[in-house]
């Protein structure tokens, strides 16, 4: 194997109960040519001290302590300082299979891809997940085929998240994560996929994704998160328009329609009225577009339900 240095960027913030398991899974990788960049994003618990302890025991680890700036800022900080030819991101409350880097790298090399993607396993609280022995598949995509997966419910999550991927570093030459945004991956990953020529995906579960009840996503409906997601979809629509990818434009508008429908049913007063107006305008726009029967049916079904609930708005 033609071994290259691989950078692992791990933002760290108040994860003292999870960090050791995360770091143990990284330092024990079967692929050894790695640099581990720990970005302590102003943690107020013992996370920073744990980072320093691991730096002392493994020379491949670099630790940076900085003022809190959020997940995107910490990832960008790591991107600006990593030296590997390839990079991967890992959230500090998750952990990976010991063969994660090696298998991702082999998949990338054997298919001459720019991005290698794997599946993940959701882990609840302190559940122990043993490695399942089963056959795995590997699929090669051209970039437009990979972008299409962002609209496929079965693998959308695997393709949109920043982690669970091994990238050629050059893909991030002009791309950074948006500061202060929730759903930061929705603002970023589609651009990285678009910059790649080939992407390889394996359904093997190599990342263990911890489901925390105290996380922003785990706390249920969050208006700030939904508004950020709206901005991400609008940016995606503008991007696809400029690139003349009109089918992706349509499909993103359908996702935006779903989001407005959710927002209307979870807000009140002036905010609800504003989302109602956006929903109606987008609905009228979607009805004019040539779409597949499946999408048309989806739109019409929600349209009638919407009219039933909000009849006065259409009078």
Sequence spans of domains, the chain: 6-217, 222-314
- Fold of the domain built from segment(s) 6-217: Spore Coat Polysaccharide Biosynthesis Protein SpsA; Chain A (3.90.550)
Mean pLDDT of the chain: 90
210 Ramachandran zone, left/alpha/beta (phi>0; psi -120 to 50): beta
Q: Are 243 and 288 in contact (CB under 8 A)?
A: no
In this model, does residue 214 exceed pLDDT 90? no
Least confident range of 3-12, 24-33, 49-58, 284-293:
284-293
pTM for the whole structure: 0.90
DSSP letters spanning 5-67: -EEEEEEESS-TTTHHHHHHHHHT-S---EEEEEEEES-SSTHHHHHHHHHHH-TTEEEEEE-
Closest CA to 236 of 224, 254, 223, 220: 254
Backbone angles phi and psi of 117, in degrees to 5: -125, 145
pLDDT digit string (tens) for 13-30? 999 999 999 999 999 999
Q: So what's the pLDDT on residue 127?
A: 62
């Amino acid at each position: 194997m033609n071994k290259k240095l691989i950078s692992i960027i791990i933002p760290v913030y108040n994860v003292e109960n999870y960090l050791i398991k995360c770091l143990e899974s990284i330092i024990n990788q079967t692929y050894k040519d790695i640099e581990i960049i720990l970005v302590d994003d102003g943690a107020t618990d013992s996370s920073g001290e744990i980072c320093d302890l691991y730096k002392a025991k493994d020379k491949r680890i670099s630790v940076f302590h900085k003022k809190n700036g959020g997940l995107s800022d910490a990832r960008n900080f790591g991107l600006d300082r990593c030296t590997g030819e390839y990079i991967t991101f890992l959230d500090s409350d998750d952990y990976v299979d010991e063969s994660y880097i090696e298998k991702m790298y082999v998949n990338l090399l054997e298919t001459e891809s720019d991005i290698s993607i794997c599946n993940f396993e959701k882990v609840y609280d302190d559940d122990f997940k043993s490695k399942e022995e089963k056959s795995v598949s590997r699929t090669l995509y051209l970039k437009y085929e990979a972008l299409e997966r962002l609209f496929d419910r079965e693998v959308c999550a695997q393709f949109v998240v920043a982690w669970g991927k091994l990238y050629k570093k050059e893909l991030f030459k002009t791309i950074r994560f948006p500061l202060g945004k929730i759903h930061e991956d929705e603002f970023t990953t589609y651009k990285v996929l678009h910059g790649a020529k080939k992407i390889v995906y394996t359904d093997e579960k190599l990342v263990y994704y911890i489901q925390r009840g105290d996380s922003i996503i785990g706390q249920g409906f969050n208006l700030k998160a939904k508004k950020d997601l709206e901005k991400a979809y609008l940016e995606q629509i503008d991007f696809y328009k400029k690139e003349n990818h009109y089918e992706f434009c349509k499909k993103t508008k359908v996702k935006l329609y779903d989001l407005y429908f959710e927002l209307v049913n979870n807000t009140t007063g002036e905010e609800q009225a504003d989302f109602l107006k956006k929903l109606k305008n987008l609905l009228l726009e979607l009805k004019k577009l040539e779409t597949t029967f499946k999408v048309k049916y989806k739109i019409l079904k929600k349209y009638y339900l919407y009219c039933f609930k909000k009849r006065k708005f259409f009078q």
